[in-house]
Amino acid sequence: MVYDKIENIELYKGLSDDIYAGLKYLKDLSPDIAPGTYELTPRVKALVSEYTTKEVNDNGYEAHRQFIDIQYLISGTEKICCLPLDYLKESKPYKEDIDAAFYEENGVKPQDHLLGNGYFAIFFPQDGHMPQLCDGNPEQVKKVVIKVKIGNC
């Protein structure tokens, strides 16, 4: 997992051309972008959505096998809880059509990260993450999730 400010994206240029393309897109993004799906390259797409954060995410933690997530808020703030899969217990098995398995906590306190104010997070397949949580009171947010295809998926 990576958690950093968007102004530091040059630090991640060598990580992957696809990840860097996603980060550059976020850095140059207009706050007026409409919700929807945007193809950036054949291996990278941006999903823009608006919703209200919540106190509890009923799905629990999620993890992906086909895509790396880069998550970034255009407006508002959101808390994301994170734990490596080794510390989570699977609650719903992996489904290829949604590229997700779901998990619940297994006695280990998660790390909490606050997205918004220019911070982004990158989640790899081993990173369980529970997004869409409020930090205090629920609020309306606008979020971009960059989906970066892994390997030959």
CA distances to 9, 44, 90 from 81, in Å: 22, 24, 16
- The pTM of the whole model exceeds 0.75: yes
Residue 70 contacts residue 150 (beta carbons within 8 Å): no
Residue from 112, 99, 111, 102 nearest 145 by CA:
99
Reduce the DSSP state of residue 12 to 3 states and report it.
helix
pLDDT of residue 109: 93
Environment class of residue 107 by beta-carbon count within 10 Å: exposed (0-12), middle (13-18) or buried (19+)? exposed
pLDDT of residue 23: 97
pLDDT of residue 153: 47
Q: What are the pLDDT tens digits along the chain (153 aa)?
A: 999 999 999 999 999 999 999 999 999 999 999 999 999 999 999 999 999 999 999 999 999 999 999 999 999 999 999 999 999 999 999 999 999 999 999 999 999 999 999 999 999 999 999 999 999 999 999 999 999 999 864
